[in-house]
Structure 1
Amino acid sequence: MYLSRVRVATAGLDAHALGQLMAGHAYGNHQLLWRLFPEVTDRPFLFRQELEHDAGLHGSARGMPMFYVLSQVEPIPVPGLLECESKPFAPKLETGQQLAFRLRANPVVARAEEGRRRSRRHDVLMDAKKAAKEEGITDRLMVQERMEDAARAWLGDSERAARRGYRLPIDPQTSGYRQHTFRRKGGEIRFSSIDFEGRLEVTDPERFLQTLEEGIGRSRAFGCGMWMIRRLES
């Protein structure tokens, strides 16, 4: 795998593409990053959008969006449009190892519904909000707490975590809940995202390495599911 930091030369964008970039338009940014992989037909990457000044680029930060990209093949910079700093990414993981992590994910739950052949996916946070209101909870902060608890329960679910090779020893922090809506050929796409930050323990190094490569949750093509990890200082 390769981990890359990608910056955009905005002079190479037309007004529409620049507007999508600044608005964090997930589909447009996904299409933009595809240009780093001209020889590949199946999507080989996950990405996470941040701002340059939040990514430690203090000397050259422009306050512009930038991307972290995790890919199976090395990206090729696009002169005049996409600048790319890449390095091989092959973390050595051990059972019981503790890692700090950041993750932007789209938590959903699938439920069978009468009259439907397939289960319907529900936004975990909106599901919790609806349940809270049905219980008569109207306080905004209490409803928000229910929503964030539901998100943490989704990520820390013991069965999901075991399949993915990790466990959460403490509840992560949550922030940045956002609902995304955009149109493309074939209809409208809606999804939500929330940011997690905390500490995890590797329970199965092979499975967790696969989890890093594949990402977690839905909407991985649109900037969700990519784990950012670092070793904890001893």
Structure 2
Amino acid sequence: MYLSRVRVAIQGMDRNALVKLLAGDAYANHQLLWKLFTESEERPFLFRQEMEKEQLDTYESPRGLPLFYVLSSRAPVPVPGLLECESKPFDPQLSPGDRLLFKLRANPTVARKSTGKQSSRRHDVLMDAKWHCRQQGRDTPGEVRAAMEASAEQWLKSRCEQWGFSLNMSPQLSGYRQHQWRRQQRQIRFSSVDYEGVITVTDPARLRAALFNGVGRSRAFGCGMLMVRRG
């Protein structure tokens, strides 16, 4: 596996592509990063979008533009004049009991059955919690926010075991955002929220699988890339 930091040379973009980049258009960014892997027929990467001003050291002259962290099964090939890459092999050595700092941008969903229908439908966990909170008459801003955050936290806690780690404390939640665009006459919608905190490794094999394959839904659109480092 390869972990890369990818910067965009905006001189190589047309105006429409630049607008989508600056707006954080998840589908457009997915298509942009595909240019690093033109020999692959199936998507070989996960990615996470950040901002240069928050991620680069002062001497690297942040431009206030988006940059991407990309985890891939093959080395990306830079696109001169458009995409610049700094890549290194990624093969973390993990042991039970290791404490790690983590970041995760995820699309937490819950399956609900509608009355009279056999199949379930996926719902945004936070919006689902908001709806149930108001149905119960708890509709003050503080009550709604607490219910949404608790639901997002529970979504992560319920999956820790299968992903090979335990949470040392409640994670920090931020960056909740709803995404939508049209593609081939179809409306695509999903939500994302950022988790950050400390985990303890419980099953190294499961955690490696989660790191390499991503977790949750909407992995093609910038979600599911679990990033860890030693504190």
Pick the TM interval, shorter chain: over 0.9
Q: Superposition pairs for residues 61-76 of structure 1, below 5 Å? A: 61-76=62-77
Aligned to 2:58, the other structure's residue is in SS state coil
Let me know the Cα RMSD of the aligned residues: 1.0
Partner residue of 1:52?
Answer: 52
Partner residue of 1:202?
Answer: 201
Structure 1: gaps (5+ residues): none
What is the TM-score with the length of structure 1 in the denominator? 0.95
- Alignment identity in percent? 57
Q: Deviations over 1:20-78 (max 9, x none)?
A: 00000000000000000010011111100010011133222100000000111110000
Partner residue of 1:193?
Answer: 192
The one-letter amino acid of 2:153's match is R
User: After TM superposition, which residue ranges in structure 1, 4 or more long, deviate above 6 angstroms?
Assistant: none
Displacement after TM superposition at 1:13 (Å): 0.5
Partner residue of 1:83?
Answer: 84
The one-letter amino acid of 1:151's match is A
Displacement after TM superposition at 1:145 (Å): 1.4
Partner residue of 2:26?
Answer: 26
Aligned residues: 230
**What CA distance in whole angstroms lies between the structure 2 residues aligned with 1:114 and 1:131?**
16
Displacement after TM superposition at 1:185 (Å): 1.6
Structure 2: gaps (5+ residues): none
Aligned to 1:42, the other structure's residue is in SS state coil
Partner residue of 2:229?
Answer: 230
Q: Deviations over 1:149-203 (max 9, x none)?
A: 110110011xx22111111121100011000011112511000000111011111
**What CA distance in whole angstroms lies between the structure 2 residues aligned with 1:57 and 1:187?**
41
Aligned to 1:17, the other structure's residue is in SS state helix
Aligned to 2:36, the other structure's residue is in SS state coil
Partner residue of 2:117?
Answer: 116
Q: Deviations over 1:113-143 (max 9, x none)?
A: 3443432111100010001111111211221
Distance 1:186 1:41, change over 3 A: farther
